[in-house]
Structure formats: C-alpha cells, structure tokens
Amino acid sequence: MLKRIVAIAARDLKSGMRDFMVVYIIIAPILLAYVLSLFVPSAGAATLQFAVDKKLGNDIVDYLSQLGNVEVMKDADSIKNRVMQSDDVVGITKDGTKYEIILEGNETENTDIVTKQILMHFEGAGSELPVEIKFSDIGWRISPLAQYGAITLVIMTTVLGGMMISFGIVEEKQSGTIGAVYASPVGRIEFVTGKSILGFIIPIAQSIAVMMIFRFTDVNFAMLLLVILCSSLIGILIGFVIGVIANDQISAVSSMKMTFLPAAASVIGAILLPSRWLPVLYWSPFYWTFAAINDLILKRETWANTLTYCGAILLLTLFAFLLFKKRIKTGLA
Amino acid sequence: MKLWALVVKDIKLSAKSNYTYIVLVFVIVFVVVAVFFVPDEFTNDPEVFVHAGTEGLLSGKIEKALDVDEVVFYGSRDEVISNMKKDRTSIGVDITTENGKMVIEFITQGYESERLKKILEAHVMGWAALETGYEPNSYVTVLESNNPDIPANKGMLPVFLVMESAFMGFFMIAAYVFQDKEEGTIKAYAVTPAKIWQYLLSKVLVFVLFGWVSGLLATIIIMGPGIRYLQFMLLLTSASIFGSMLGLIAAGLFTSFTKAMNVIFVVAFVLGITVIPYYMPSFSPVYIRILPTYPLLFAFREVLFPTGNTVLVYTNVLGYLAASAVLFYIANKLFEKKLV
C-alpha cells in the first residue's frame, strides 16, 4: 500500500519535474517572500515626504532628511506639481521671511500642524524650555509589517498546496488518466493519500523558507511544523473538493479565487479587529493558523496553546470533510 | 459578427462553469462587508500607554501633545512596559521631573525607525514652543480646497474596482484559453478563415463585460447615482482591457495551465502591494509607483470622490488603452506561434 502511495506521489513529482513545475511552484512564493522582505524595512521607516525648494539651502534639507524622504525642487511650481501627485508629499518653500507649507489638502490629518511644529523645532523655537525628550526601547526588533507579511505568506502557501491538487485532478479528469489509475490496483484511499503528499511537502518547504527569509530563525520549528501540517489539511481538503466539483479550469480557478475570500478575511480581520470582535472569525481554520503563527513569532507560544490552535484547525477541517465526504467520494469515482 | 458569436459562446461557457454566479457572489460579499462591517471612520493609530509621574506642562493636554485621539494611563513605568509587551504596535510615554526639567521619555518597542523618533521629538518640542507663546514662522497653502472627506468603507471601493472588477480578466483569461486548448477549440478555430486576433479580442470583451457587471453593481449600491458614470465607465473599460491583455500574455507565455496560473497568482500578489501606499500615502517608493495598479487606484478614487483632477482620470484611460494596444500586438504574435 505504502509503495503504491509513494508511487502516486512520485508520479506527480516526476510529472512536475519534467517541466520544472514543482521547482517553480516552490520557488515562486519564496521569491515573493524575498521581494516583500526587501521592502519591509523601507515601509516601516516611512514617515513623511518633503519637497523642498532649492533656495532654502542645505541646512533644512539635512534636518528634514533625518525625519523623512526629501526631494529638492528647483522652484515653487515644481513643488506644487510634486505635491499634486497621488502620494502624500509636503511642499516647503519660503515667501520672504516666512516658510510656506504647500499641501494638496487630502494628506493625513494634522500634517499641517506637525509640519509647523517641525519647522519651529528646526528654527530652535523653545529650545530653552525646561523640557527634555528621551528615548528607550524594550528590545522588540520585529516590525508588524514583517510579522503580518510572513503570516500571510505562510497561509497563502497552504492554499497554494491545495490549488496544485485541484488543478492536477481537473487535468487528470480532462485527460482521462484518472480512469486509467483506477483500472490499476491503486485504491481510492491510496490515490487520495498519494495526491496529498505534495500538498504537505510544498507548504512545509515554503513556510520554512518564508520564516527564514523574514529572519524568524529562532521560532519553535517543531511547533511551526505541527501548525503547517494541520493547516495543510484544510488546503488539501479544499484542493480535493474543488478538484472533484470543477469540470474544467474555469470552474477550478474561480472556485480557488473564492477560497481566497475566507483566507483574506481571516488575516485582515485578525489584524484589524479589536479582540472583543475576534470570535466572529472562530469558524475559519485560517484564523487559527494566523493565531498560532502569530504566537510563535511573538514568542508567547506554549505547547498547550499550539495544541489548542491545531485542535481547532483539525476540528473545523473534519467538519468540512464530513460535509464534502460524499461529494469527494463520488467525484473521484 | 464572428467576434460577437465568440463572445456569446464564452458567456455561455461562463454560465456553465458557474463563473457568472461567482462574480455576483464577490460583489455581494464586498458590498455586505463595506456597508455593514466596516465603519465610516477607521483609525489604526497605535495605542499610547502613559505613566505621568509629573504632568506639569502637559497637564490635561497629553493627547494633543502626542497628536492622538486618546491615551491609556497607568500607575507606573513598569505597568506601561508590561502592557506594551502585550500590544507590539503600542508606544509608551513616561513623564517625570529631573533637576527642575520635565523629562518625557518615549518608550518604543525597538523596531521603530530613527526617523519616527526624530519626528516625535520635533513634534513635541514644537508643540511645547507653541503652547508657551511662540508664533509659528510659517503658513499653510492648500492647493485643492474641495477635497472630500472619504469614509473608510467607501474608500475601499477603488481597491475592489481595481483588484476584482478591472483585473478580473488578468486572473481568469488563462483558464478560458487553456480550456479552449484542451477541448481543441483553438485548433478547430485555426482551420476557419477567422483571425486569431478576433479570438483573443472576444476573450477580452467577455471580461470587459464581467468587469462592467461587477464594478457597476458594487458602485451603484455603495455610491448611488451621484458620481460621474461616463468617466467611471471609460476608466473601468480601459483598465479591464489592459488587465485582460496582461492575462493573455501570461497565458501565451506558458504551455501549461498550472504554470501560467502560478505566475498569475504571484503577479496578482505583487500588483496587490499597491494597496499599501493607497492606505499609507507617505510610503510610495518608485518601484511601487511604476506598477500599473498604483495610478489606477488613485484614478478610481478621483472618479468616486472628485477633487477636480480630471487629468489624472483621462491620462489613465489613454495610458491603459495605449498599453493595451501594445500588449495586444504581442499577445497576437505569441498565440500565432505557440497555441495554434
């Protein structure tokens, strides 16, 4: 039995390797993680953007460069053109002795007041006041952008694993090879298990790579592996359900697109909703995956918590499986 | 007529594959979320935890000094830190007196940039100067005075219009092309006198139609009749054509459906990154601004919440149409060589 399961997985792998498909599928999200990780520091450092008149001199440009991005413009008209573009840029020029702060009008609230205060600070206003500003930190170096970016990509890998299964089944159905498999001694359970193996391997390989790229190298990898294994199950189940329901690629892609709705809703909801509203996401296994990986990254994981999250994922997957069991059975017949 | 017959065939195919219903489900889900779940006003300011040992100068004015809606007070610095550890997006402030000076200590998590710290310092010192009677040596000129206040829920609509309605073809067109390939429709088509460009254009038109249905439904329900629908339709149509052309290129470059879909997923993800500067306009590096979805998001915002910058809308319309013409030429060449 094991031999036949391995043979089916090996067949999928071989067929995927023939046109480098599997390598490609594994590499693509990893590449994406790498690209994202490159711009996370600049997004995290984004504060204000200034377009400063050249005539104001280097001192103010140097000062403002410590606070945000500065573009030096040749005159007031160039500043106005830059300010009118879609992003938030504060224009600064001088009219006589007074600074002119040029805004489009749709900037983030209080940009005008903050810029006035910044210019006062530059000019040294109030420097003699008995006020001292100090900074300290509590040693947490992980930016929320990296944290949520990594979790989103890990969840995406579990969905992608399922996507490969569903597209594979649809292709087999269309080419008629699924019938040939059943004409062989391979049973349905062996076929399903064999087909699922890549659905585990791909998310595990990708998730570990994603965590490494985002430099979460000191997370508890045993717990991470457990969470990914459990989360892959929902991806695999989705893959089989879509694979048996869809008769063609159009249905498969559109159904896969539908799958991204609960996944995206769970991630966005988990990030944005206040804690009292989180129970509205408890129905989603993607939410529990989010919670588990979030705890791992934030270093507040315990085995009890991780097992609870995994239990929730498995229970919800089991529930979904019981709902679709008959459909999968008949669909693969 | 041949072209129209092909469009009708694909619409029938969509109905058979339930895709038509899925387009409608997406609209319904989006509208329900926007109308019932997302509030008009939404703030994602970080929580500020304060221990005010000596308030002095800042008495009763801490919120204004820190430019936040509200702060949470704690009895000690340790309490502030312990609560910061529970919320990794929060920031702490400890106010004490030292040698007759008020010391304001910003306790950050550790990931915050030096620039943010400098801004906090300049902001608080500037505020203190203003409070103690200094006159600002600056004045503000606002270039566009009729900027509408955009409610958070309606502000999501441009994101839906770009990522779902306009780029629907980018996501789906490969499925239609490979479906035809599997069924041998393309080969059958090749032996008829019809041209390959008609076949490709028919696919694009199907997604322009779907884009209209999806975009118009969501916009009419959320915005009502009071927007400039002519501009809206021009923008939606040109962007839909462009998105579908991009999808055709992806389909033409790969011989396998799964491989094409992988590229499409990754590119869709990259294009989706432009949503970050849409919500965080102070972050707009050049490598994001050159993505085609970036100007489109702001052009849709201009159509839905006009400030008078119609040039932005028409530049987008013309730009997408010109780019579509180039992509169509490339797609035509690709399909002539590869798929038939």
The answer to whether B45 contacts chain A (CB < 8 Å) is no
- Has residue A154 got a pLDDT over 80? yes
CA B58 – CA A241 distance, rounded (Å)? 61
Positive or negative CA dihedral for B1, B4, B9, B15?
negative
CA A66 – CA B55 distance, rounded (Å)? 29
B187: confidence class by pLDDT, cuts 50, 70, 90 = confident
pLDDT of residue A22: 64
The residue ranges of every structural domain in chain B are 2-39+151-338, 48-131
CA A284 – CA A316 distance, rounded (Å)? 8
- Has residue B194 got a pLDDT over 80? no
Residue B17: count other Cβ atoms within 10 Å of its Cβ.
Answer: 23
pLDDT of residue A45: 64
Residues of A in contact with B146 (CB under 8 A): 105
Nearest Cα of chain A lies from the Cα of B57 at a distance, in angstroms, of 9
Chain B interface disruption, residue of A13, A101, A206, A249, most B CBs within 10 A:
A249
Strands (E), chain A: 48-53, 68-73, 90-95, 98-103, 131-137
pLDDT of residue B86: 85
pLDDT of residue B227: 92
The chain A residue lying nearest B140, using CA atoms, is A101
Of residues A4 and B76, more confidence is placed in B76
Chain A interface disruption, residue of B17, B120, B185, B312, most A CBs within 10 A:
B17
Of residues B275 and B235, more confidence is placed in B235
List the single residue in B67, B88, B118 with the smallest CB-CB distance to A114: B67
Q: What is the DSSP string of A86-125?
A: SS--EEEEEETTEEEEEE-S-SSTTHHHHHHHHHHHHTTT
pLDDT of residue B106: 93
Of residues A81 and B276, more confidence is placed in A81
Residues of A in contact with B294 (CB under 8 A): 86
Of residues A154 and A16, more confidence is placed in A154
| Tokens 């707009």, located at residue | B284
Mean pLDDT, rounded, for B100-105:
86
CA A265 – CA A282 distance, rounded (Å)? 12
A24: confidence class by pLDDT, cuts 50, 70, 90 = low
pLDDT of residue A182: 67
CA B317 – CA B232 distance, rounded (Å)? 10
Among the residue ranges A188-202, B17-31, B177-191, B281-295, the one predicted with the least confidence is B177-191
Among the residue ranges B47-56, B78-87, B315-324, the one predicted with the least confidence is B47-56
Domains of chain A, CATH where assigned: 2-40+142-331 (no CATH), 47-122 (3.40.190)
Nearest Cα of chain A lies from the Cα of B219 at a distance, in angstroms, of 20
CA B338 – CA B200 distance, rounded (Å)? 14
Q: What is the mean pLDDT of chain A?
A: 85
CA B179 – CA A250 distance, rounded (Å)? 7
CA A169 vs CA A158, A235, A238, A288, B142: distances in Å: 17, 14, 12, 28, 59
H helical segments located in chain B: 2-16, 19-32, 62-66, 77-86, 114-131, 152-155, 157-160, 168-183, 185-190, 196-223, 229-253, 257-272, 275-279, 286-289, 293-304, 310-338
B249: confidence class by pLDDT, cuts 50, 70, 90 = very high
pLDDT of residue B199: 87
Q: Hey, which of A25-34, A194-203, B243-252 has the most confident mean pLDDT?
A: B243-252
pLDDT of residue B148: 80
| Tokens coding B289 | 């601004």
For B148-186, the pLDDT digits (tens) are 888 888 999 999 999 999 998 898 888 888 878 777 777
Of residues A15 and A211, more confidence is placed in A211
Of residues A294 and B97, more confidence is placed in A294
Hey, are the CB atoms on B307 and A258 less than 8 Å from each other? no
For A204-229, the pLDDT digits (tens) are 988 999 999 998 988 999 999 999 99
CA A238 – CA A230 distance, rounded (Å)? 13
Cβ neighbours of residue A39 under 8 Å, at least 6 residues apart?
B273, B285, B287, B288
DSSP code at position A290: H
Mean pLDDT, rounded, for A59-72:
93
Could you give phi then psi for residue A274, rounded to 5 degrees? -65, 155
Hey, are the CB atoms on A130 and B136 less than 8 Å from each other? no
Hey, are the CB atoms on A249 and B179 less than 8 Å from each other? yes
| Tokens 């001292």, located at residue | A132
For A229-287, the pLDDT digits (tens) are 999 999 999 988 988 888 777 778 778 777 888 888 888 888 877 777 788 889 999 99
pLDDT of residue B335: 85
A317: confidence class by pLDDT, cuts 50, 70, 90 = very high
Element (H, E) at B46: none
Question: Considering only CA atoms, which of B249, B87, B124, B113 is closest in space to residue B174?
Answer: B249
The answer to whether A70 contacts chain B (CB < 8 Å) is no
Nearest Cα of chain A lies from the Cα of B193 at a distance, in angstroms, of 27
Nearest Cα of chain A lies from the Cα of B330 at a distance, in angstroms, of 24
DSSP code at position B34: I
Chain B interface disruption, residue of A31, A52, A87, A173, most B CBs within 10 A:
A87
Residue A110: count other Cβ atoms within 10 Å of its Cβ.
Answer: 13
List the single residue in A48, A160, A249 with the smallest CB-CB distance to B178: A249
Q: What is the mean pLDDT of chain B?
A: 85
The answer to whether B123 contacts chain A (CB < 8 Å) is yes
The chain A residue lying nearest B67, using CA atoms, is A110
pTM for this prediction: 0.80
The answer to whether B43 contacts chain A (CB < 8 Å) is no
Question: Is residue A294 helix, strand or coil?
Answer: helix
CA A250 – CA A256 distance, rounded (Å)? 10
- Has residue A100 got a pLDDT over 90? yes
What separation, in Å, do the N-terminal and C-terminal C-alpha atoms of chain B show?
22
A46: confidence class by pLDDT, cuts 50, 70, 90 = low
- The packing angle between helices A249-272 and A285-297, to 10°, is 50
CATH classification of B48-131 is 3.30.450, yes or no?
no
